[in-house]
Amino acid sequence: MSYCVNCGVELDASHKSCPLCNTPVINPKQLEQLIAVPPFPSEKGQVELVKRKDAALLLSVVLLSTAVTCGLLNVFVYKASLWSLSIIGACCVLWVFMIPLVIYTKLSAYASLLLDGVVVCAYLFMLTWLTKQNTWFWGIALPITILVTVLAEIMTFLLRRFRFSFLVTATVSFAEIAVLCVGIELVLNRYLHQRFFLSWSGIVLTICSIITIALITILSKKRLRNAVRRRLHF
Amino acid sequence: MPSKRPPLSEKRPKKDWYKLDLSAIVYPTLQRRDFSAVYRLSVTLKAPVDPELLQRAVDIAMKRFPTYKVAIRKGLFWRYLEPNRRPGPYVRPDIKNPCMPMGFQTNNRYLVRFYYYENRISMEAHHCLGDGTGGMCVLQTVTAVYLELQGCFITKKYFVRDVNEEPSPGELEDAYMRYADAGVHPPRVHEKAYRVRGTKEPFYTLNIINGTLSSAETKQVAKKYGVTVTEYFNAVLLYALLQKQEKEWHLRLRPVKIAMPVNLRRFFPSETLRNFITMVYPGIDPRLGAYTFEEIVTQTHNFMRYYINEKFLRGDITTNAATQRNPLIRVVPLFLKDFIVSRFYAAIQDKNSSAGLTNMGLCQVPEDMKPHIERFDIYMGQPFSSRTNCAIITYEDTLTINFASSIIEADVERLFFRKLVQDGIHVKIASNRESV
Ligand SMILES: [Zn+2]
């Protein structure tokens, strides 16, 4: 039988600290804790998720029928070019995007983001085949898609690593905006002017860096962090 | 209750659907992926529970409660309950996080769950089926059948129903409508109350802090203040919330209010097993000045005396029923009703109180069941927003208080129990929290 020295309440024999104030239980007479049956089970229940079969089916049917109709129209009516490929491709991309949302919800976030990136790349590559010209793909589309995919993966990782909070989200977002803008400008300049240099994204980079550094300072100082949370929570 | 009922053989035609009762209409509209209005009742026996026997008891007893063996369905204008003939509900080993969200399509569409852990049988029910009194009938009947399967004899009294009897129409009625006959609809005053701030726990975590007290000791302390036990606990919770608000950073103080369900069966005779409760909001406004504990006790005592009586409650029920009776509201399609009700609830109803408190009072048990029962626990379930809910029940001399909250900080609970200790009540604490 142990009491919390701070609250004065008797504690269940299985508890090693007081649930009310987290003060550890130290009983000098009872250093060897008796093995007591905990008052609550330790197994955590999992909520059964309803599979959104209806939504998945509906969306699949809509996309499939759009693709098929366009394909048929292309083959039999407007035969001038292979225009339907772009629409069929877009349908495929949309379908892959919704896999983690409605079709296979257990897919890990990283895998689904990677899949999204790959599909977008494939779609863009198919468009180069339609436009009969592929320098823009290798020069702009592919690097930017890869950059966005990588940033999305990093964002997911960071947000899962640290407990979700407004401040962490803001920090990560500002840092990523800076990287994204710099990346896009570098790629564009390389493509248009054949060399690397920074102009407008330099400004974005400066502003975002200042904000990010300020946020990291706030995050690392507990007192500051609490003050900001108190004032800005919503 | 002990009226003559036709035996099983001469059955009336079975009802094949039930309207939701007046307060049950609200609960399903609040359903989210991470929230269901689910409460839990537990009974702790004196010997470990045999799961197989318990399953048999559940199967036998559930047939007696047609409004609990149901699934919920959507109509064009309202939801309704439909008898559920699928297998189940199945008993399962208890879990650490009680009152998990309950999907309407999961669990074979049942809206009740049974759990066992060591000596304890727990039942969880969605609030749209009924309130704590109705749920207690189901749980105690299941327990009685379980004990009878073990070879005991249990008198059918108080909450225990005879499983060989047909349910009376009175048990299935929507009692609100029978008493919603006041000549005036008193308006409701809504004012934003103080909200407890805290760090939200991740999805599906529900923190329980359980306090076990001696009922006699508590009664004595309440008597010292000249109030009932419910009034005393309300005052202690208000006192804890006031202290918590005082300590927190705030621009201005807000009134501190408690949402307390009142069992209407005490005032309006009905044997219904469905919802028959209404909410009252005892509170303290700290903007009027600093209250001492004695003043809070007096204020709570006077509030209860003033509001909790047959006349005021009848007016309250009538106001509630007025919306449902309004023909213009009736023809609005369900999805629009859902949208409006959930917005209204989140914006006004939920902000109207700082915490919840319910006291079921003394739980009556047939004399021959007493030797098998250790204690009862009730849990108000997951709060709609970040705050803490407190549920109290007494069995013999064991008074149990269960706080359920979805925030990490236990400040309100600590202040609450410390006040009890200061008043000289011996409190024993147990919890399902991670760190303990
Ligand atoms: Zn303590």
* Helix (H), strand (E) at residue B303: helix B293-307
**B190–chain A nearest CA distance, Å:** 21
- Residue A221: CB atoms within 10 A of its CB come to 12
Residue A102 or B223, more confident: B223
B416 in Cβ contact with B237 (< 8 Å): yes
Chain B contacts in chain A segment 15-54 (CB below 8 A): 15-22, 37, 39-50
Which residue stretches of chain A are H helix?
Answer: 53-76, 84-98, 109-131, 135-136, 142-161, 166-193, 200-220, 222-232
- Taking CA–CA distances from A18, the nearest residue in chain B reads B436
- Residue B310: CB atoms within 10 A of its CB come to 12
Task: Report the C-alpha gap between B73 and B334 in whole angstroms.
Answer: 11
B127 in Cβ contact with B30 (< 8 Å): no
Residue extents of the structural domains in chain B: 17-165+172-179, 207-372+380-431
B64: left (phi over 0), alpha (psi -120 to 50) or beta: alpha
Q: Do A50 and B106 touch (CB under 8 A)?
A: yes
| pLDDT beyond 80 at A80 | no
Structure tokens at B380: 């108000």
**pLDDT truncated to tens, each residue of chain B (436 aa)?**
444 444 444 444 567 788 888 888 888 888 887 788 999 999 999 999 999 999 999 999 998 898 899 998 888 888 888 888 888 789 999 998 888 888 888 888 899 999 999 899 999 999 999 999 999 999 999 999 999 999 888 888 888 988 888 888 888 888 888 888 888 888 877 888 898 888 888 777 888 999 999 999 999 999 999 999 999 999 999 999 999 988 887 778 889 999 999 999 999 999 899 999 998 999 999 999 889 999 999 999 999 999 899 998 999 889 888 887 888 888 888 888 888 888 888 888 888 889 999 999 898 899 999 999 999 999 988 888 878 899 999 998 999 999 998 888 888 999 999 999 999 999 999 998 875 5
**B58–chain A nearest CA distance, Å:** 21
The residues pairing with A152 across neighbouring beta strands, listed in sequence order, are none
Q: What is the pLDDT of residue B376?
A: 93
Task: Report the C-alpha gap between B313 and A170 in whole angstroms.
Answer: 49
**B279–chain A nearest CA distance, Å:** 28
Residue B145: HSE in the Cβ half-sphere, 13 Å Cα cutoff: 23
- DSSP 8-state secondary structure symbol assigned to residue B352: G
- Residue B392: CB atoms within 10 A of its CB come to 22
Picking from B95, B103, B436, the nearest residue to A50 by CB comes out as B103
CB-based contacts of A76: which residues, under 8 Å, 6+ apart? Answer: none
Chain B partners within 8 Å of A25 (Cβ)? none
Q: What is the pLDDT of residue B1?
A: 42
Is B385 near chain A, with CB under 8 Å? no
Q: Are strands B373-379 and B38-45 parallel, antiparallel or unpaired?
A: antiparallel
| pLDDT beyond 90 at A136 | no
Complex ipTM more than 0.85, yes or no: no
The residues pairing with A125 across neighbouring beta strands, listed in sequence order, are none
Length reported for chain A: 234
The CATH superfamily label for domain B207-372+380-431 reads: Nonribosomal peptide synthetase, condensation domain (3.30.559.30)
Among B429, B433, B435, the residue to mutate for chain A (most A Cβ within 10 A): B429
Q: How far is the CA of B401 from the centre of ligand 1 (A)?
A: 17
Structure tokens at B124: 């969880």
Q: How far is the CA of B198 from the centre of ligand 1 (A)?
A: 19
Q: Are strands B428-431 and A10-11 parallel, antiparallel or unpaired?
A: parallel
- Alpha-carbon torsion (B350, B125, B264, B43), positive or negative: negative
Rg (CA), chain B: 21
Chain A partners within 8 Å of B417 (Cβ)? 7, 9, 20
Chain A partners within 8 Å of B432 (Cβ)? 39-40
Q: What is the pLDDT of residue B120?
A: 93
- A178 phi and psi, to 5 degrees? -60, -50
Question: Which residue has tokens 């959507």?
Answer: B74
Task: Report the C-alpha gap between A228 and B197 in whole angstroms.
Answer: 14
A179 in Cβ contact with A154 (< 8 Å): no
Task: Report the C-alpha gap between A21 and B410 in whole angstroms.
Answer: 7
Rounded to 10 degrees, the C-alpha dihedral B154/B159/B163/B167 comes to 150
- Exposure of B132 by Cβ count < 10 A (0-12 exposed, 13-18 middle, 19+ buried)? buried
Of B351, B322, B177, nearest to B264 by C-alpha is: B177
Q: B17-165+172-179 belongs to which CATH class?
A: alpha beta
